[in-house]
Chain A
Amino acid sequence: MGLEKHEKFIKKASSTLVFEPGWSEDNLTGAWRSERPEVDQEKCTNCDICWLVCPDACVKREGDRIEIDLKYCKGCGICAEECPVKAIIMLREESD
């Protein structure tokens, strides 16, 4: 998040008013993450269980592929834990 965008976010967040629908999307929750899910597309059987159990709806079903929205993924690791074939692994985020 750029500094300008961050300032805008703080200004909005200090109020309980809803300025526009869905402005929570300015809040890039991906920054909370300490571990990042990585999908092994070879192992994946397209059972979509990861898509079903993600609380933040960050797993996208795109045809035969599973894509993870790293902009908002909070890194809880439920997808990796629930995957029946262990096609998702959690990798430590490198510090900047």
Chain B
Amino acid sequence: MEKTKIKDLTDEEYLHHGSLACAGCGALLAFRHALKALGPNTITINSTGCMAVIMQMGVPKVPHFHVLFENGPAVMSGVEQALDIMGTRGDTNLLVVAGDGGTADIGMGSLSGAVERGHDFIYLCYDNESYMNTGGQRSGTTPFGAATTTTPVGSVVKGESRPMEMRKDVPEIMIAHGAPYVATASIGYPLDLIDKMKKAATVRGPSYVHVFASCPAGWRSDAKDSVKLAKLAVQTGLIRLFEYENGERTFQHVPKQRKPIKEYLELQGRFKHLLDDEEALKELEQYVERRSQS
């Protein structure tokens, strides 16, 4: 598939202005580009999360349903079946949007079921690494060392203590389900995200796109650094961008020379305590090293 260029992209926006997203919201940027890639012939279902709040007041210009935290993919299965039975599916894209809490923790069961049954839809998870809508509690994808409201920094435990390998790697879980198309993307590389959404739309069967989206409010970072952080996460090797199709995995934007992890950590308040903690920094660096060899 040909790579999208900025000049080819449509000026048409599928979201109205005036949404309640924080300044510098990464998830909104991910959703904006996902809709740009899929076009107006899209039905979106939104599991509860930040995005459901942001989409209040009629923000989307495409059909949009706000459903419970746990049943986004289940409702989408029903929508897909109904369109099939009525014979009106055509080339309508079906998109489920959920955060990492709604995907890795609460919605895991219904996502697993919908993918296993093989419904034809696209699942977009914007991963900001905790439950940001409710004030920043830890989730299944919170990284090692991150301070959240339920893993605060104290004198004994400093932030999230579970090692990086043990967090829920949802793309790998989806690959294990046999989903025909699984990809990871980052809002730091919007054109790559658009390419992956376009590809997901052409694949028959469930496709899963995991988007790394920064959150200035929860990460306690500067709003202007949102896109920079999403890029740095890839450049330091903490996040890997890949596409999995037909049993083959291809990597995108692999850094030739990995940047020091400190560059990524020092911009965020949630990792402030790690900067002078040599042991934790070493642990993170070893994780990146170990994973780059797999």
B150-191 interface bits toward A, Cβ cutoff 8 Å, 1 = contact, 0 = none = 000000000000000000000000000000000000000011
- Do A22 and B6 have beta carbons less than 8 Å apart? no
A13:B224 contact, CB within 8 angstroms? no
**Binary interface profile of B, 207-245, with partner A (CB < 8 Å = 1, else 0)?**
000000000100000111111100000000000000000
Which of the 9-residue segments B23-31, B76-84, B250-258, B272-280 touches chain A? B23-31
B56 at the interface (CB under 8 A from A): yes
Inter-subunit contact A12/B57 (CB<8 Å): yes
- A8-23 at interface with B (beta carbon < 8 Å): 12-13, 16, 18-23
Give B14-73 interface residues, CB cut-off 8 Å to A: 15-26, 28-29, 32, 56-59, 61
Residue from B24, B58, B226 in contact with A22 in the complex, judged by beta carbons closer than 8 Å: B58
Q: Is the CB of A25 within 8 A of B16?
A: yes
Q: Are A53 and B190 interface neighbours, CB within 8 A?
A: yes
Across the interface, B19 reaches (CB within 8 A) one of A24, A61, A77, namely A24
Chain B: minimal CB distance from A56 (Å): 7
Interface size class of A (residues with CB under 8 A): 35 or more
Known contacts A49-B6, A55-B32; A76/B17 CB under 8 A: no
Q: At the interface, yes or no: B3 with Cβ under 8 Å from chain A? A: no
Report if B249 contacts A (CB, 8 A): no
**Residue pair A69, B17 in contact (C-beta under 8 Å):** yes
A48–B23 touching, CB < 8 Å: no
Which residues of A are found within 8 Å of B22, using beta-carbon distances?
74
The reply to whether B61 and A22 form a contact with Cβ atoms under 8 Å apart is yes
A–B pairs, 18, beta carbons within 8 Å: A18-B56, A21-B16, A22-B59, A23-B58, A24-B20, A32-B23, A47-B6, A48-B6, A52-B191, A54-B29, A56-B17, A56-B19, A56-B21, A76-B23, A76-B223, A80-B224, A81-B225, A90-B224
